Chain A
Amino acid sequence: MFQNIGEILVLFWRTVRSLSLTWRQRQKVFDQLYEIGNASLLMACILSAFIGGVIALQTGPVLAERGLNNYIGGLVGVSICKELAPVMMSLLIAGRIGSAMAAEIGSMRVYQEVDALRTMNIDPIHYLVLPRLVAISCALPILVVFSVLVGWIGGAIVSVTNHAINVSFQGFFNNLRDVVDTGDLVNGLFKSFVFAMVIGVVSCHQGLQTIGGPRGIGRSVTKAVVNSIVMILILDYFLTRFLMYFD
């Protein structure tokens, strides 16, 4: 495990050191961005709407019983912004994009395409890892912005339509505006940026480590997704603690 973490950190460092080559690889970055957006945007919107809705549904009646139903907007707003959107979107991306990255690079490794790059003096980190890492680091925070907005709307719809909560659309968003500030959004975006790098580097590392044919590719995909999810959830705690100092 420690060897794996060490290798992941080395891969991350080597990718960061090659960031100056991003412009040369811009076409691949755009291709990856399109791939990520195309694969995830609709799913992200559906997921976010229902997350917002379920938060409102679970907490709204409890608040209403205590006469605090006007605070539902702030509660949904903050929880989506700071926690649920970055974490849930990261889990979604780990499953959809991280697995695709590990599978694609893994099959390139198995079918000797990575070796072919090396024989042409093309660094696989520059050619394969850099564009993916840059693309996912840009795409995930953007998806989180979408997720936050759709999640708020989902929460508002449930709050307005559910008689047990009984709050107006305007009341929901007035409270949300009072409670949520730009710092909360930045907080969520920062988390998602870190999670994106974790997903990118873990998945690419797994892909590059693939051995043993189709079964090896399957193993790499599973490992990439599971390791990314575990790392996201562990890091989430420490990042939350760290970001509390700036609240």
Chain B
Amino acid sequence: MNEPDLNQSGVAVTVSGLYKSYYGEPVLKDLNFEVARGEIFVVMGPSGSGKTVLLKHLIGLEAPDSGEILVEGESIRSPGVMDKFRMAMVFQSSALFNSLTVGENVGLYLTEHRLKPSDEIVRIVRDKLALVGLEGQEDRYPDELSGGMKKRVAIARALVIEPQLILYDEPTSELDPLRSVVIAEEIFRLNRRIHVTSIVVSHERELAFGIADRIAIMNEGEILLVGTPREVRESPHPMIREFLAADFKLKEEKTSL
């Protein structure tokens, strides 16, 4: 297996004054934060707080009503910027193409853009699949895979782009705890090996505290706090305390019964 390109460096991302509304209803309210190169930045918050919408803005799938997203100081809406920096996204549903094999899914970017000869694409696909622990799965179809394997194929597909920024949308949703740990380890390991900037959206606390360099807590389209896992844990903000305590409360109630 080829070693990944260790010189591949992540990019810095700056979000300033990001505002978005749908049918007059604000979904993102004046968001401001920065993500450093090579950092794992986790955006956490309850369902419906605008996390996925934020990710879609970061990769250019949605345009904001106002505000700016800068990658290495350049607005992503400026012509050519999205081509200049390599960005990839791992979707919540994995978004694999069911009519294509795992190998074809992973190699799609290279095949469609004709970036490499076909034998080299085969080799790259094999390497990327090995990187996420899916050696020899090239010929299987997505509907033959488990949820966790699909997520890993989606990660391999993102890695083929050799991204400087990877966005993960709820990477451990719909997975059992064991597989969640595997995916979390994968994200952490990749970040440390290839120094890619990773922005992870999740509402799972174990994942966030396990891998994050910094965490942003979102609620109803607003960022309540950006800080290290420790700063978040110690935050006196009532909503954050409530959000973090939710499952401990349940455990306490269960033991008192």
Q: Is B239 an interface residue (CB 8 A)?
A: no
Contact A116 B91 (CB under 8 A): yes
Complexed CA–CA distance, A118 and B109 (Å):
10
Query: What sequence of 0s and 1s flags, for each residue 1-42 of chain A, a beta carbon within 8 Å of any chain B beta carbon?
Result: 000000000000000000000001000000000000000000
Complexed CA–CA distance, A120 and B89 (Å):
9
Query: Chain B residues with Cβ under 8 A from A113's Cβ?
Result: 95-97
B61, B93, B114: which contacts A118 (Cβ < 8 A)? B61
Q: Is B176 an interface residue (CB 8 A)?
A: no
Q: Which of B32-40, B64-72, B80-88 binds A?
A: B80-88
Given contacts A113-B97, A115-B61, contact A120 B109 (CB under 8 A): yes
Q: Is B184 an interface residue (CB 8 A)?
A: no
Contact A121 B61 (CB under 8 A): no
Contact B91 A112 (CB under 8 A): yes
Given contacts A116-B89, A118-B61, A120-B161, contact A111 B95 (CB under 8 A): yes
List CB contacts (< 8 Å) of A86-138 with chain B: 108, 111-113, 115-116, 118-122, 127
Complexed CA–CA distance, A113 and B142 (Å):
13
Query: What sequence of 0s and 1s flags, for each residue 227-244 of chain A, a beta carbon within 8 Å of any chain B beta carbon?
Result: 000000000000000000
> How many whole Å from B96's CB to the nearest CB in chain A?
8
Most buried by A among B60, B92, B96, B112: B112
Q: Please, how many residues of chain A have a CB less than 8 angstroms from a CB on the other chain?
A: 13
A24, A115, A121, A122: which contacts B95 (Cβ < 8 A)? A115
B82, B91, B161: which contacts A115 (Cβ < 8 A)? B91
> How many whole Å from B71's CB to the nearest CB in chain A?
14
List CB contacts (< 8 Å) of B47-103 with chain A: 56, 59-61, 82-83, 87-89, 91-93, 95-97
Complexed CA–CA distance, A120 and B105 (Å):
11
Complexed CA–CA distance, A127 and B109 (Å):
12
> How many whole Å from B166's CB to the nearest CB in chain A?
10
Query: Chain A residues with Cβ under 8 A from B108's Cβ?
Result: 120, 122
Query: Chain B residues with Cβ under 8 A from A120's Cβ?
Result: 88, 108-109, 112, 157, 161
List CB contacts (< 8 Å) of B9-40 with chain A: none
Closest to A28 in B: B99
Query: Chain B residues with Cβ under 8 A from A108's Cβ?
Result: 97
List CB contacts (< 8 Å) of B94-127 with chain A: 95-97, 108-109, 112-114
Query: Chain A residues with Cβ under 8 A from B89's Cβ?
Result: 115-116, 119
B95, B96, B112: which contacts A127 (Cβ < 8 A)? B112
Given contacts A118-B61, A121-B82, contact A112 B95 (CB under 8 A): yes
Query: Chain A residues with Cβ under 8 A from B114's Cβ?
Result: 24
Query: Chain A residues with Cβ under 8 A from B82's Cβ?
Result: 121
B61, B83, B92, B96: which contacts A119 (Cβ < 8 A)? B61
> How many whole Å from A212's CB to the nearest CB in chain B?
14
Complexed CA–CA distance, A116 and B88 (Å):
9
Binding site for B on A (CB under 8 A): 24, 108, 111-113, 115-116, 118-122, 127
The 8 closest A-B CB pairs, nearest first, are A116-B95, A112-B95, A120-B109, A112-B91, A119-B89, A122-B112, A113-B95, A111-B93
Binding site for A on B (CB under 8 A): 56, 59-61, 82-83, 87-89, 91-93, 95-97, 108-109, 112-114, 157, 161
**Contacts A/B (CB < 8 Å), 7 sampled:** A112-B92, A112-B95, A115-B56, A115-B61, A118-B60, A118-B61, A119-B59
